A and B are shown apart, each in its own frame.
Chain A
Amino acid sequence: MKETEKGVSRREFLKTGGIGMAGLASIGGLRSITSAETELAPPHQEDDGSHDHGMPGAVGEVDHEANEFHPMDLLYDFDYGETKEENGRTVREWQMTAVDKEFEIAPGIYFPGWLYGTTTSAASQKAGHLVGQCPGPTLRCVEGELLRVHFTNASTHPHTVHFHGIHSAFMDGVPNSGRGVIMPGESFTYEFDAQPFGCHLYHCHANPLKRHIHKGLYGAFIIDPDPENYQGEEREIAKSRNRQYPENEDVNEMVIVMNGFDTNFDGDNEIYAANSIGFAYAKEPIQIKRDQLQRLYLINITEFDPINSIHLHANFFNYYDHGTTLQPTLTTVDTIMQCQAQRGIIEFSFDGFEPGLYMFHAHQSEFAELGWMSFFEVVA
């Protein structure tokens, strides 16, 4: 933002501000156009209330139909893949593909992304064909299962899938180790055990890493705890965290991946978002029931900025960093920050609150004003 309007700044008038030549001022009639010596006393800015202060935010609507994925669906879509039994053990499999796809990240702004899609995601099921989405499908499984991710690279660049979890070096999904990068047109099956339970993520680890991440190759990876492994109170908590148990149905579970897009490729994001679409949940607030426990799986994959954050208005929450514990690692907080790839689970309730709109957003005001701005609409 360095370009200046030379036509009027050519004499660089402002640099003279310190010369203090105000004494020379007052050439009669000229006063009315010198805006009353701004350097001495900034004039009053009268606000009689008749002026519209305008509204922040983007103008227009994103065509979610054209994108083939909707931020409201991304919030609730947990992709369980397909399961089968092998030697008495549950094997969970996904067919995952990386594609090149341009999509709309804010009204009228298109981003040439590289995206993951699975055949079992809600978006693909709805469309009847494989849909690349950003963030990628939320892969969800249960602790102790054997996972197989059959990955096909249908993009024009080499990619990998690198899971944050416990696995062998060969399955790490990084260049020059194990299988290495998967070239366009090639396939590979990543196979590993689902551990440890928690809120994790996966992303492409091909080089240049920065570009491969910020192009959109990432997604949430959730491993539910297996209640069989815990006793007493912890067992009950594990049941609530595990989709296979009825206790889980009492909780409203959501996924938000905090991300950003550098649309002009200058190493600085022009758009920040919760689940890719700037201002999506501000334009269309997330409805939640006030007497229901809310559980938000929150992942930060924002490139270029060291941290991202979330702040919930008018309420406090408990936080489980990485989701790898059954007891909160932070209690009664309203703001947490995450570095890139840090993630965790946020639990809160609006029980007893007045229905209405409750804001939540990154508490880097810059990110909030560049798209990471959202509302919960609490209903009775």
Chain B
Amino acid sequence: MDATESVRSQKIPKWVLAIVPLLLLIVLIALFIALNPLSPFTGAFPPLEELTIQRVLFPENNQIQVTVINGGPDPVTIAQVLVDDAYWQFDISPGNTLERLEQATIDLNYPWVDGEPLPIMLITSTGVTFDHEVEVAVLTPETGSANLLSYGLLGIYVGVIPVALGMLWYPFMRQIDRKWMNVILALTVGLLIFLFVDTLLEAFEIGEVLPGVFQGTPLIIFGTLFSFGILMAVGQRRGDNTPVGVATLIALGIGLHNLGEGLAIGAAFASGAAALGSFLVIGFTLHNITEGVGIAAPLVRGETPKLRIFVGLALLAGAPAILGTWIGGFAFSPLLAVIFLSLGAGAILQVIWEVSKLLVKDAQRQGQTAISWLNFAGLTAGVLIMYLTAFLVKF
């Protein structure tokens, strides 16, 4: 019977076999729609409304611009806008009704007060309200060339300079003996572990304000796994764990992290949330110096690379911060920030893997355990250094 069955099925063309389940699915959906078996469940449900205010800008002294997105399953009609608990005249484009995932821009002429918080509320046709608290109303920088330069400088301060400074420890690291070199590698792993956790946490924090439809948490997890996997595959294929190769991977991972960090910083400056901007920038500079140490550490083992390789590595790790501050300052989107941060987290994870492998191999060659007390102390010191320097940027 088995034989005849298989003979019979062999007569049916393959493409038919492939299409049968799909056909059945279509029939089932058609039946579902026609018969509406869920009718007992449909009462007088109000439409599920979900609006997210993505951004509030203050382009001029008497202007407010609100960007809002409909992240819910149904169209939403914005009926009125309240600023500081008062109905206020507004223009909305493209229109009052937002389809699913449609974005709208609301413009108001409102005499906002510089440096003071400002609550904004949208009220829909069904009376549902969506709140947003602007922490400080501050004139939004224009997208002029002067500001482009200022934001670029910001990126250099938090990205390129600290990385380059950290790499200047290279000559010192070269002088110390092998045992201590492994400690420095372990220290690098510690720094990276901190960065990995920090990047993920930041991604989750921003992910909270994403409209539900974008599924912030899975997006972050899979974004991280994706970039980890891609970089692993790239690493395997190249089969290259030369000092420069490892340093490049580290620089790439840190670069992605700095891109995300730059985004957040740029957005903070643009929205005026960075009231103590200069202090913050110094904090980031100190905090990120350790990233340079991490990049330089694997280079100690081989020949001293050419200067342009150092410059290239510093730019690879630091320059994305410039791009980040530009995007964050002029076109911040939480979705973009979450994607970059999770890709960065995955990249850092991959670097942790690479550097740890170096450590383990080195230990094996010398017939020692990789997790010696000394190495563990180095790792702990790495986490601790990052933790303590983070005091400067977290409040």
Q: Do A108 and B209 touch across chains, with their CB atoms under 8 A apart?
A: no
Tell me which residues from 1 to 36 in chain A have a Cβ below 8 Å from any Cβ of chain B: 1-17, 19, 21-22, 24-35
Q: Do B87 and A369 touch across chains, with their CB atoms under 8 A apart?
A: yes
Tell me which residues from 32 to 66 in chain A have a Cβ below 8 Å from any Cβ of chain B: 32-35, 38-39, 42-43, 45-47, 51-60
Q: A11-B393, A369-B85 are in contact. Are A1 and B61 (CB under 8 A)?
A: no
Give the contacting residue for A16; candidates B272, B332, B395; CB below 8 A. Answer: B395
CB distance from A24 to the nearest CB of B (A): 5
Per the bound structure, the CA–CA distance linking A158 and B126 in Å amounts to: 24
Q: Is B372 an interface residue (CB 8 A)?
A: no
Q: Is A193 an interface residue (CB 8 A)?
A: no
Identify the closest chain B residue to A3 (Cβ): B131
Per the bound structure, the CA–CA distance linking A54 and B89 in Å amounts to: 7
Q: Do B89 and A29 touch across chains, with their CB atoms under 8 A apart?
A: no
Contacts of A46 in B (CB 8 A): 61
Binding site of A, secondary structure by majority: helix, strand, loop or mixed?
A: loop
Q: Do A59 and B272 touch across chains, with their CB atoms under 8 A apart?
A: no
Which of B144-152, B308-316, B376-384 contacts its partner? Answer: B144-152
Identify the closest chain B residue to A42 (Cβ): B115
Per the bound structure, the CA–CA distance linking A25 and B274 in Å amounts to: 12
Contacts of B123 in A (CB 8 A): 109, 263-264, 270
Q: Do A57 and B85 touch across chains, with their CB atoms under 8 A apart?
A: no
Contacts of A270 in B (CB 8 A): 82, 123, 127, 129
Encode contact with A along B106-143: 1 for CB under 8 Å, 0 otherwise: 00111101110001010111111101111110110100
Q: A11-B395, A27-B282 are in contact. Are A108 and B77 (CB under 8 A)?
A: yes
CB distance from A304 to the nearest CB of B (A): 14
Q: A54-B88, A264-B128, A369-B87 are in contact. Are A4 and B133 (CB under 8 A)?
A: yes
Q: Is B165 an interface residue (CB 8 A)?
A: no
Q: Is A71 an interface residue (CB 8 A)?
A: no
Q: Do A38 and B86 touch across chains, with their CB atoms under 8 A apart?
A: no
Encode contact with B along A57-91: 1 for CB under 8 Å, 0 otherwise: 11110000000000000000000000000000000
Question: Which bracket fits the contact residues of B?
Answer: 35 or more
Q: A27-B282, A52-B109, A57-B89 are in contact. Are A1 and B136 (CB under 8 A)?
A: no
Q: Is B240 an interface residue (CB 8 A)?
A: no
Identify the closest chain B residue to A48 (Cβ): B61
Contacts of A27 in B (CB 8 A): 157, 278, 281-282
Per the bound structure, the CA–CA distance linking A300 and B79 in Å amounts to: 26
Identify the closest chain A residue to B325 (Cβ): A33
Q: Do B146 and A26 touch across chains, with their CB atoms under 8 A apart?
A: no
Q: Is A134 an interface residue (CB 8 A)?
A: no
Q: Do B138 and A109 touch across chains, with their CB atoms under 8 A apart?
A: no
Q: Is A257 an interface residue (CB 8 A)?
A: no
CB distance from A183 to the nearest CB of B (A): 20
Per the bound structure, the CA–CA distance linking A33 and B272 in Å amounts to: 9
Q: Do B135 and A14 touch across chains, with their CB atoms under 8 A apart?
A: yes
Q: Do B275 and A38 touch across chains, with their CB atoms under 8 A apart?
A: yes
Encode contact with A along B354-379: 1 for CB under 8 Å, 0 otherwise: 00000000000000000000000000
Which of B32-40, B189-197, B262-270 contacts its partner? Answer: B262-270
Encode contact with B along A343-380: 1 for CB under 8 Å, 0 otherwise: 00000000000000000000000100111000000000
Per the bound structure, the CA–CA distance linking A108 and B128 in Å amounts to: 12
CB distance from A32 to the nearest CB of B (A): 5
Binding site of B, secondary structure by majority: helix, strand, loop or mixed?
A: mixed
Q: A11-B394, A11-B395, A33-B269 are in contact. Are A6 and B205 (CB under 8 A)?
A: yes
Identify the closest chain B residue to A46 (Cβ): B61
Per the bound structure, the CA–CA distance linking A9 and B134 in Å amounts to: 10
Contacts of A99 in B (CB 8 A): none
CB distance from B53 to the nearest CB of A (A): 8
Contacts of B53 in A (CB 8 A): 5
Per the bound structure, the CA–CA distance linking A366 and B127 in Å amounts to: 18
Give the one of B127, B202, B271 with max A CB within 10 A.
Answer: B127
Q: A25-B279, A109-B127 are in contact. Are A15 and B133 (CB under 8 A)?
A: no
Q: Do B269 and A34 touch across chains, with their CB atoms under 8 A apart?
A: yes
Q: Is B3 an interface residue (CB 8 A)?
A: no
CB distance from B217 to the nearest CB of A (A): 14
Give the contacting residue for A3; candidates B60, B132, B149, B267; CB below 8 A. Answer: B132
Q: Is B255 an interface residue (CB 8 A)?
A: no
Q: Is B1 an interface residue (CB 8 A)?
A: no
Q: Is B273 an interface residue (CB 8 A)?
A: yes
Contacts of A245 in B (CB 8 A): none
CB distance from A17 to the nearest CB of B (A): 6
Q: A5-B55, A7-B206, A24-B279 are in contact. Are A38 and B136 (CB under 8 A)?
A: yes
Give the contacting residue for B125; candidates A7, A35, A110; CB below 8 A. Answer: A110
Q: A51-B60, A369-B87 are in contact. Are A35 and B272 (CB under 8 A)?
A: yes
Identify the closest chain A residue to B285 (Cβ): A27
Encode contact with A along B73-86: 1 for CB under 8 Å, 0 otherwise: 00001011110011
Per the bound structure, the CA–CA distance linking A19 and B108 in Å amounts to: 34
Q: Do A7 and B87 touch across chains, with their CB atoms under 8 A apart?
A: no
Q: Do A35 and B205 touch across chains, with their CB atoms under 8 A apart?
A: no
Q: Is A106 an interface residue (CB 8 A)?
A: yes
Contacts of A29 in B (CB 8 A): 149-150, 153
Q: A14-B275, A35-B138 are in contact. Are A108 and B96 (CB under 8 A)?
A: yes
Contacts of B299 in A (CB 8 A): none
Contacts of A184 in B (CB 8 A): none
Identify the closest chain A residue to B126 (Cβ): A110
Contacts of A264 in B (CB 8 A): 123, 127-129
Q: Is A173 an interface residue (CB 8 A)?
A: no
CB distance from A33 to the nearest CB of B (A): 5
Q: Is B90 an interface residue (CB 8 A)?
A: yes
Per the bound structure, the CA–CA distance linking A8 and B202 in Å amounts to: 11
Encode contact with A along B234-275: 1 for CB under 8 Å, 0 otherwise: 000000000000000000000000000000100111111111
Q: Do A59 and B90 touch across chains, with their CB atoms under 8 A apart?
A: yes
Give the one of B89, B109, B154, B270 with max A CB within 10 A.
Answer: B89
Known: A1-B131, A38-B136. 19 other contacts (CB 8 A): A6-B334, A7-B267, A10-B205, A21-B276, A21-B279, A24-B279, A33-B277, A34-B274, A38-B272, A51-B109, A54-B89, A54-B109, A55-B89, A56-B89, A57-B89, A111-B127, A264-B127, A278-B87, A370-B85
Q: What 9 A-B pairs come out closest when comparing CB atoms?
A: A263-B127, A54-B109, A108-B79, A369-B86, A34-B277, A1-B131, A51-B62, A21-B279, A25-B278
List, sorted by A's number, 21 A–B pairs whose CB atoms are closer than 8 Å. A1-B119, A2-B131, A4-B135, A6-B209, A14-B275, A16-B395, A19-B276, A30-B281, A32-B150, A39-B115, A39-B275, A42-B115, A51-B60, A107-B80, A109-B79, A110-B126, A263-B126, A270-B123, A270-B127, A279-B87, A369-B87
Residues on B close to A: CB < 8 A? 53-56, 60-63, 77, 79-82, 85-90, 96, 108-111, 113-115, 119, 121, 123-129, 131-136, 138-139, 141, 146-147, 149-151, 153-154, 157, 202, 205-206, 208-209, 264, 267-282, 329, 332, 334, 337, 393-395
